[in-house]
Structure formats: C-alpha cells, structure tokens
Chains A and B, each alone.
Chain A
C-alpha cells in the first residue's frame, strides 16, 4: 500500500534533548513537508523539500533541522534550541506541488 509512515506516534522528551522524527513515503512524490499543529491553531510550516538534497525553511524553522538524502525520507530533528516543542508534528507529501497534500498519521511530542 502506498502511503506515508511517521514514527514514533508518541514521544516524550526531557528538556535539553534533541529528538528526530521519521517520515518515510512510498508514493514517489518529490515534495515533502513538515508542519506543526498546536491546539486551536492551524498548521504551520516548519521545513519543506521539493527535491533530494535540497530543502527550504518554512515559517517557523528556528530550533528545527531536516535532511533529504533520499526521495523517500525526510526526517525532522527537534533540537534543544526549540523553546516550546510540545506539539503534534505532521509530515506531508504533494504529488505535483499543487497543494493537494497527503499526510502521515503524525507524531505527538511532549516535553517533560
């Protein structure tokens, strides 16, 4: 089955620790995105990549880092520099960069 797999689904982290969220897709889509969602807020773009070995900052990239070494994979690292990392993180792909996004199931990060 084609789709987007995010892991882990739930993650607890102590303050000061870096964590990496995985996003893998087998849809053969070029564009991949990371969004953050907080309660009562819309989706905010963290980073996006339109091609392997290239990525751009979104609206709230501070405290995050990404890599795009393979078309299928776009991991997100939440660093200790991110002041308020507790959130629901969503990975998405876009077949033709039209805005018709396919989302993974999300990763819920809680900082203790």
Chain B
C-alpha cells in the first residue's frame, strides 16, 4: 500500500475555473503536510504547508486538511495557464524508527486549458 497517494492525472481544467487536487496518506499520526509545484523539466518548489485541520489560504491557493479522513487537498482558484504543472503532495510520516520521514506522492499533472 502506497503511503502517500495522488491521482496521477492528467487533470484538465478550463482557465478561470477552480482546480482541485487531492492526496491521501496512510499514517494517522502525521502532523505536517506540503504541496510542491514542479514545472516540466524543473525542480519542485514549495507552495503550501499546512499543519492543522481546516483550510489555509494563500492568494489563489487553499490547502485543506482533514486528519480524521487522512486527506489533504489543494484548491487553485481562477486557474491560469501558468498553473499548468505537476503538483506533488508530501507528508511527514512516522518511520519504523520513530522519527519522521518526508514522503512524496507521485504527483498530479494539471493542465489549464485557455
């Protein structure tokens, strides 16, 4: 069973619409959750981090966390062509040694259609 799961896509969204990206994780004790954006051929960059249940907003981006359902999502409002990228979900999972290990999902490829 994968520890951090994302739908690989591709997810196509019209320009100006809301893009919704989802991620589930296996460790109920996880406390830290991150969304990274990766343009084709480039390295990832952190766009959102969330640590508490609920919503966290930053500009057009909103991260949503539901620890009871082990689910974290990223909403992108007013989608722009420049949002076309792969979005990686990352979660700090508890390792077998008792320490936290940042684990990445395989990413969701998002395409914004003009």
Contact = CB atoms under 8 A, between A and B. Distances in A.
A41 B42 contact: no
B43 A104 contact: yes
A85 interface: no
Interface residues of A, number: 16
A1 interface: no
A106 B104 CA distance: 17
Interface residues of B, number: 21
- Nearest 4 pairs of A and B residues by beta carbon: A42-B104, A103-B43, A43-B104, A42-B106
A100 B101 contact: no
A98 interface: yes
B106 A101 contact: no
Interface in B1-55: 4, 8, 32, 34, 36, 42-46, 49
